[in-house]
Structure 1
Amino acid sequence: MSNIKTIRMIKDKIFLFFVGFLTFLAVVPLFHIIYSISVKGLPIIMERGVSFIVNPLSEGGIGPAIVGTLMLTILATLIGIPIAFLAGAYAYEFPESLIGRATKVLLQIMLEFPTILVGTFVMTVLVIPMGTYSALAGAIALALILIPYVAVYTEEAMAEIPKIYKEGGYALGCTRAQVIFKVITKMAKKGILTGVLIGMAKVAGETAPLLFTAGGLYEVYPTNPLQPVGAIPLLIYTLVQSPSPEDHKIAWGAALIMLIIFLSIFIPIRYVLKDDIKI
């Protein structure tokens, strides 16, 4: 018996070693990316200071691109979240209906849909008829990318709530809308918020759909959603194609700012998942 126990302990240690080693290999690229961007992007930010994040591109800054990214992300969130929430709630409430099943399938397809095709679609239906690139067109393209993430997380979060709470709401005389929006939504808020944050982090770093919709604006701050707008990912894409070392330095600095924005959106998920649901 002692030999069998020893063999099991050895196998267990070997298994844990391989799991730990493979986990290490999985996270090494992530830390390498963060390290590389920080090492190459921090010097230009330290060199130029606040001017790098407030000045236009002609003065060696990325201020308009930062504001454009925030504008696009906020507009996409405002446009996409209501639609996504209603789609997720419908898929949860009517899972066996034809429309409910079709909604689930469509959301799964949209999760894997090439984002560049979203950009070409919005360009066809909005940019060309308007005759100009605009923040609105870019935001709509990003909203189409955000919707499936929020909707899927909404549906899954609601589905995890025990049905007894739903039945209890009906027993108290609540309508279907009251049960969904006041009972189920409140209990599933952690999962829904996680989907919102992941969707926002996703669209904040998108480049492909903006190539056909945003247009790019890096010399003045955007003020009108019906006019062209710049974005950090789009600016990085433009700068890395330049042969100028100075443009490459700006691109690395912009990448670090983009990383900071991404982490500032994504890190709260860690605390959302850590805390218990409070009703």
Structure 2
Amino acid sequence: MSSFEVRKQKERLFLMGIGSLTFLALLPLFHIIATVFRNGLPVIIKEGLNFLTGTFSNGGIGPAIIGTFTLTFLASLLGLPIAFLVGLYAYEFPRSTIGRWTKMLLQIMIEFPTILVGVFVMQVLVVPMGTYSAFAGALALAIILMPYVAIYTHEAMREIPFTYREAGYSLGLTRIKVLLKILAPMAKRGIFTGVLIGVAKVAGETAPLLFTAGGLYESYPSSVTKPIGSISLLIYQLVQSPSPADHEMAWGASLILLIVFLGIFIPIRLSLKEVKL
């Protein structure tokens, strides 16, 4: 056997090994998706539109769906601007004391137990207010969302060659204009990836909401200062029940949460065009 044929065989074995490992890595994901669809779809079909619009006592999760979107929107409104600016600062002043500490704290916040975030917000907001609220839940989720967006913003900006910064300065642009009008648009793919990951993370969070949101499933949320429900929180409460009917509703709610996640993440991710440098 010639050396060329030996190399070809090694290459085929290598590709087969990589393909097998990739399949094994993706298998749990596809198994979860298939299981949720298999158990949740019959529940939704049986209940019909009422499952999406009705209250809990009527066999529906309408308030939880609206609560999830409300909490995610408020968390994004609170967290995204701050996270973007923090990421820009960490990129622009990497050697400053504040810049170094900022990057370290962002790494810590990503690994920080989210239930402790809920306990913190409960102490600083829920206890003084005397009630659970949508704002408290959104604040907890915003704290969880920010490190993902900030780190992805920082890393995406670092990928832009320094020559583009020099070109901006040569045109007489200020530092802030170079950052916001030249570098940030070029790094938008990486930045939006961080936004999507952060939003997807908080949309399915449960632990911090146990201490902040309270849960509301018999009526739709009417104020940010009152308790609110979410799909993930409802699932957590349903699976603790011994009732088979509650378990069926939990599977249906799980499928709705999965559809919400995929319906938001996939189209936006595919629509982001890569910037060629």
Matches within 5 A, 1:193-212: 193-212=192-211
Q: 2:116 maps to which residue? A: 117
Q: In 1, distance between residues paired with 2:84 and 2:114?
A: 21
TM-score normalised by length of structure 2: 0.97
Deviation, structure 1 residue 270: 3.7
Q: 2:32 maps to which residue? A: 33
Instruction: Indicate if the aligned counterparts of 1:236 and 1:255 stay in contact, CA closer than 8 A.
Output: yes
Q: Please state if 1:161 is matched with 2:155.
A: no
Instruction: Indicate if the aligned counterparts of 1:190 and 1:272 stay in contact, CA closer than 8 A.
Output: no
Provide Cα deviations, 1:132-161, integer angstroms capped at 9, x if missing partner.
Answer: 000000000000010000001111111111
4+ residue runs of structure 1 moved beyond 6 angstroms?
none
One-letter code of the match for 1:266?
Answer: F
Q: 2:20 maps to which residue? A: 21
- Correspondence for 2:275 among 271, 274, 277: 277
TM-score normalised by length of structure 1: 0.96
Q: In 1, distance between residues paired with 2:79 and 2:153?
A: 13
Q: Please state if 1:187 is matched with 2:186.
A: yes
Instruction: Indicate if the aligned counterparts of 2:193 and 2:269 stay in contact, CA closer than 8 A.
Output: no
Q: 1:226 maps to which residue? A: 225
One-letter code of the match for 1:36?
Answer: T
Q: In 2, distance between residues paired with 1:148 and 1:216?
A: 26
Deviation, structure 1 residue 246: 0.5
Provide Cα deviations, 1:55-82, integer angstroms capped at 9, x if missing partner.
Answer: 0000000000000000000000000001
Instruction: Indicate if the aligned counterparts of 2:40 and 2:251 stay in contact, CA closer than 8 A.
Output: yes
Deviation, structure 1 residue 3: 2.3
Aligned residues: 277
Deviation, structure 1 residue 185: 1.1
Deviation, structure 1 residue 182: 1.2
Deviation, structure 1 residue 5: 1.8
Q: In 1, distance between residues paired with 2:81 and 2:71?
A: 16
Q: 1:94 maps to which residue? A: 93
Instruction: Indicate if the aligned counterparts of 1:68 and 1:229 stay in contact, CA closer than 8 A.
Output: yes
Provide Cα deviations, 1:116-142, integer angstroms capped at 9, x if missing partner.
Answer: 011001011111011000000000000
Deviation, structure 1 residue 268: 3.0
Instruction: Indicate if the aligned counterparts of 1:107 and 1:148 stay in contact, CA closer than 8 A.
Output: yes
Deviation, structure 1 residue 48: 1.1
Instruction: Indicate if the aligned counterparts of 1:194 and 1:269 stay in contact, CA closer than 8 A.
Output: no
